[in-house]
Amino acid sequence: MSATWPAKDPDEVFDYSWDVPLDAGDTISGTPTRTVIAGTVNVEAPTVNGARITSYISGGASGETAVIEMTCQTAGGRTFQETFVLPIKDSATAPTDAENLRADIIALEAAQMSLASGKMVTDVWRSGRRLIYGKVTLESLQNLIQFKQRKLEEAEQAAQGKKRRRAIALGWPN
């Protein structure tokens, strides 16, 4: 089997855990082993707490994917083995939430312009009185843009360490 752990920065040292699916009354015996199959990470000796095996992982090169294999024996004679995939991403080069939201807003505004200029019209009646648009409506695009702009403001405030408070809406949108 294989599982994926959350990504880490090359400069961070994190503890990663594995919950071994033990039978009732069974315990882990001995010291679990760890093997780095791929990547340049350093995996510390694992510790055992009940059915949970925890190991500190450091290092790695940005952009690589580390593959770590953990193995343990139980008092009941079973052997468990799990392979973990650990992406290594440099947080300095990863886009921030605010950058992702800005890109979303630009794409939504482009879609809004396509809709407004008729590029998303799928059918026009002969009289020209009725246009049938694609699945997206101008109102839904405007609402989504406003939502993304609010999220962008919140992300920028959070990046500056400020808490943002906004008014409580007294009505429901229709």
For the stretch 84-142, pLDDT in tens is: 999 898 877 767 777 778 888 887 777 777 766 666 555 666 665 665 655 667 787 78
Q: Quote the pLDDT of residue 49.
A: 92
Assigned CATH topology for domain 2-87: Immunoglobulin-like (2.60.40)
Does the pTM exceed 0.75? no
Q: Quote the pLDDT of residue 5.
A: 85
pLDDT over 90 at 55, yes or no: yes
Span 27-41, mean pLDDT? Answer: 91
Q: What residue segments make up the domains of the chain, in order of their start?
A: 2-87, 97-159
Span 47-60, mean pLDDT? Answer: 92
* Distance between CA atoms of residues 96 and 94, nearest Å: 6
DSSP 3-state assignment of 26? coil
Q: Quote the pLDDT of residue 13.
A: 92
pLDDT over 80 at 6, yes or no: yes
pLDDT digits 0-9 by tens, 67-89: 999 999 999 899 988 889 998 98
Q: Quote the pLDDT of residue 111.
A: 74
pLDDT digits 0-9 by tens, 160-172: 777 656 656 566 6
Q: Quote the pLDDT of residue 165.
A: 62
Closest C-alpha to 85, from 129, 141, 143, 41 = 41
